[in-house]
Structure 1
């Protein structure tokens, strides 16, 4: 299947590791020009070196705090200066912060919303003129299944993710007339540094394969997912192959969510 990335430029926030890195790697391997954004310049450089080694593509690295509006303006401007356009935006930056409601103070609420919700807003707003000029712009907001089915002690993350889903639906309707598609993916248990830390701290006697397939995770497909599997879905949603898909969300969770 031709995904149609040649001649296109993508910005991936949180692009130095995990799902963001895997997405940047896949987009680059399919011919896109890619800018990756994260706070850690060392991590960005390491990611860029690995992408170049495996794809032969040089990616643009931008060290920035995506929660700050000026950082979004800087990142988009550098991308346009380097590649001349922006066609794809993957809003992936975020961390997991899950505690009981009574334990979440104002600063924690503000920090989480600034990163996960307003970060996506800032980047979409700055990229919008270029996505319009593209004629076939695409945005994917990376959220979590907890945004659809928030549980106890899931704050503030579940609320930020739910807001990201509402943002996705509203933007998809506003931007459809410009042929800009906006979708979301809802992540379940996917291999990441955080999941690997949990593995090493709770089950150091198990191999990764044993830990990933442990029935205690209650994943219907029987294992924790890989970042590359999430990247494949994201790449499809921002590709020409999904040209009639907008305003929807896709669970990437091995079937664990109780909702569509």
Structure 2
């Protein structure tokens, strides 16, 4: 299916690895110019090379810490300077450390909020005027299935990411009809983040081994496997495209059917 993204320009935050990188690759594969972002210059360079390998448009990289206001604004400025326009904003962020509720302190909550919510607020604030221009654009927020079903061992992600969904739903009215805003709620995918969470659980004695962690995460998935990041990327590209032109204000779960929530 042609998603009609040729010649469009996209910014994907925190896209040097994981689901952000998969989203950047999917958009590039469909013909969009893409700005890839990460904090680590070496990892970013590898990501840009990987995205370029499937791209038909331009791909550029920009180092930035998405918890820093000026650096987030700089990403939007760089996209405009490079591409002359901005049609699609995809927000991604690495997750906070997994804690149980009473293990956290105030600073950990503030750091999580800055990483997961304020990074999106600042990116949208800077990008909105450009997304509204030239016939309008899209925003896709990558959040987590934990906003529907909280994970007891990951209270920061379960709680704070709810703010992203509240923002997404509000923006779907505020920026419409020029800009459509949606979110995706991934379950377990084969990414460095999942490796990190499993290793945390092993270190805390909650799991016997890494292999046991993978098995445990697969056990509750009716499709009997973890997600491929490419599948998430394809969903992000679809939501960014005219093919999804009547989808707005939605939070789409992609978890292989693992969730039991009916909403």
TM-score > 0.5, shorter chain as reference:
yes
List runs of 5+ in structure 1 lacking aligned partners.
none
Equivalent in the alignment of 2:17: 17
1:256 aligns with 2:252: no
Q: Equivalent residue of 2:128, what SS?
A: helix
Distance 1:63 1:7 in 2: 23
Offset, 1:215: 7.6
Deviations 1:112-132 (A, max 9, x none): 110110101100110001001
Offset, 1:26: 1.4
Equivalent in the alignment of 2:26: 26
Aligned residue among 230, 241, 248 for 2:232 = 230
Q: Equivalent residue of 1:176, what SS?
A: coil
Offset, 1:154: 2.4
Offset, 1:152: 2.3
Kept after mapping to 1: 8 A contact 2:14/2:36: yes
Offset, 1:181: 0.3
* TM-score, normalised with respect to structure 1: 0.91
Deviates more, 1:93-102 or 1:30-39: 93-102
List runs of 5+ in structure 2 lacking aligned partners.
203-207
Distance 1:212 1:10 in 2: 33
Deviating runs (4+, > 4 A) in structure 1?
Answer: 201-204, 210-216
Equivalent in the alignment of 1:104: 104
Kept after mapping to 1: 8 A contact 2:185/2:254: yes
Q: Equivalent residue of 1:54, what SS?
A: coil
Q: Equivalent residue of 2:189, what SS?
A: coil
Distance 1:130 1:26 in 2: 22
Offset, 1:218: 1.0
Rate the CA distance shift 1:64–1:169 in 2: closer, same or farther, 3 A.
same
Kept after mapping to 1: 8 A contact 2:218/2:226: no
How large is the Cα RMSD of the aligned pairs? 2.1
Equivalent in the alignment of 2:161: 161
Deviations 1:47-84 (A, max 9, x none): 11122233355411111111111111111001101100
